Chains A and B, each alone.
Chain A
Amino acid sequence: MQGHLRRSRIANNKVNDMSYTKRFDGRKFDETRKMEAKAGVISRADGSAYFKIGDTVAYATVYGPRDLYPRFMQNPEKGILRVNYNMMPFSGSGERVRPGGNRRSRELSMVIEKALLPVVELEEFPNSVIDIFIDLPETDAGTRCAGICAASIALADAGITMKDMVAAVSVGRVDDKIVVDLNYDEEAYEDGPVADVPVAMMPRTEQITLLQMDGEITKEELMQGIQYAKKVCKDINAVQRQALKEKYQNGGSDE
């Protein structure tokens, strides 16, 4: 999508040896990009959050539990969770993203919903719905992970009962190195095999709620990546907690 500009940049970075010795942005291999989080950024919503990791920015808004229509979707046993993932038209670094849903956004909405479902206690809200809207004004890979992190803060901000928060990060392999939190340049690396593995988990128990994989990776490398993810998710969770505590120590009003 981003085309030839990226490619030439990557080519310049390479000095003809066959390994990825240094990351494009100078990070350590198990280091995430700079993170920033804030709770309560949208005052009309029941809960909201902002989560930024590197150049990927996610806003999550939570509405509900609220009345669910159409009626046939209601579940008398427990409430339902509805997630809407949306990349804004100007969010990419290349061409304009066509607004509205597409195949990709529907799939991501679904996987994010499934990643959050194990923690949210929906039995308390029969026949109702909790709506989560994730909007991405700026993207540089890792959007589903940033979306999950933001959504998790927003759910807690909305006062919803949940077993734990969910933290997510992508790990993977670029050439012969196992890396954490790939950016777009690394995902688009062309001089060797790349694998991108988004992982979401409950940081306290290390139970995994989302694990996807795109690319080629060996079992050993994958296990190594997941080990990295476990450590990093705890750091992400600390950022999430900090965001919530900051808001509520100051009385809990939205901005």
Chain B
Amino acid sequence: MSELLVQDKTIVVPGEELAAGIDYLPAVGTYRDKDKIIASRLGLLAVEGRALKVIPLTGRYMPKKGDTIIGRVIDVAFSGWRIDTNSAYPAMLSLKDATSEYIQRGADLTRYYDIGDYTVSIIVNVTSQKLIDVSMKGQGLRKLVGGRIIKVNPHKVPRIIGKQGSMVSMIKQYTDCRVVVGQNGVVWIQGTPEKELLAVNTIRKIETESHVPGLTERIKEYLEASGARPSAPQQDSQ
């Protein structure tokens, strides 16, 4: 006798009753109140078997283990660097996770990363108190030199990357830019100024139109209408 009160894939708001009856289970973004399942945040309802969850559409980035992020160095300490993650909490990059190079004790750490530098790093640990450890050992994890940084809605990042990176590699091909998309909603773009601008506009377009079907096709048309022609696929990280 359990029944769904809202259709799958509709937008729900906090306090909205999603289902009645005890056969449904509350997952992320929902909670149970007696025999009802209630949404606890704004988003898209996803019914996965018996579990009901809300896929967030908005909000700040929440650090998660395993995410590749682009962060800005905000402080240099004795034992490492503090990195702004575009969330409420800064991350710590310790000496041993920073480079594969040997760093002598007492060395001037600003030689490696200085305040204001942008880095690509991966979150290795997040504690309950939201202390974040990041590492820069791994493929594609590096300091970003030149180019420009833009911030996007972190919940739209999967759309910007596309299936198996299809969207971002299309942007790369058409604009000849190097692009790195951080899971935290920070995007780095490097190329010629005009092409960089085109890449920025394309990403903004993806952001605003991500809910309309046929996105890939439209973005391709947009790029071609802007006079961009695809170059040979480049081998870049991400």
Contacts and interface: CB of A to CB of B under 8 A. Distances in A.
A248 B42 contact: yes
A121 B212 CA distance: 32
B173 interface: no
B67 interface: no
Given A67-B88, A245-B11, A251-B210, A162 B16 contact: no
A116 to B, nearest CB: 12
22 contacts: A65-B60, A121-B40, A127-B129, A156-B14, A159-B41, A159-B43, A159-B56, A160-B41, A160-B59, A161-B14, A161-B29, A161-B40, A162-B15, A162-B40, A165-B15, A240-B13, A244-B11, A244-B13, A248-B57, A250-B211, A251-B209, A252-B211
A245 B56 contact: no
A209 to B, nearest CB: 13
A132 B223 CA distance: 40
B130 interface: yes
Interface residues of A, number: 40
Contacts of B153: 252
Given A47-B58, A253-B207, A156 B13 contact: yes
Contacts of A203: 15
A119 B15 CA distance: 10
Interface of A: 46-47, 64-67, 76, 79, 119, 121, 124-128, 156-165, 202-205, 237, 240-241, 244-245, 248-253
Given A164-B14, A244-B42, A159 B57 contact: yes
Given A119-B14, A204-B17, A241-B16, 4 more contacts: A159-B60, A203-B15, A237-B15, A245-B11
A68 to B, nearest CB: 8
Contacts of B129: 76, 126-127
Contacts of A158: 58-60
Contacts of A248: 11, 42, 57-58
B9 to A, nearest CB: 12
Interface of B: 11, 13-17, 29, 31, 33, 38, 40-43, 56-60, 62, 87-90, 128-130, 153, 155, 207-212
Q: Is the interface of B mostly helix, strand, loop or mixed?
A: loop
A36 to B, nearest CB: 17
A214 B88 CA distance: 40
B13 A204 contact: no
Contacts of A65: 60, 87-88
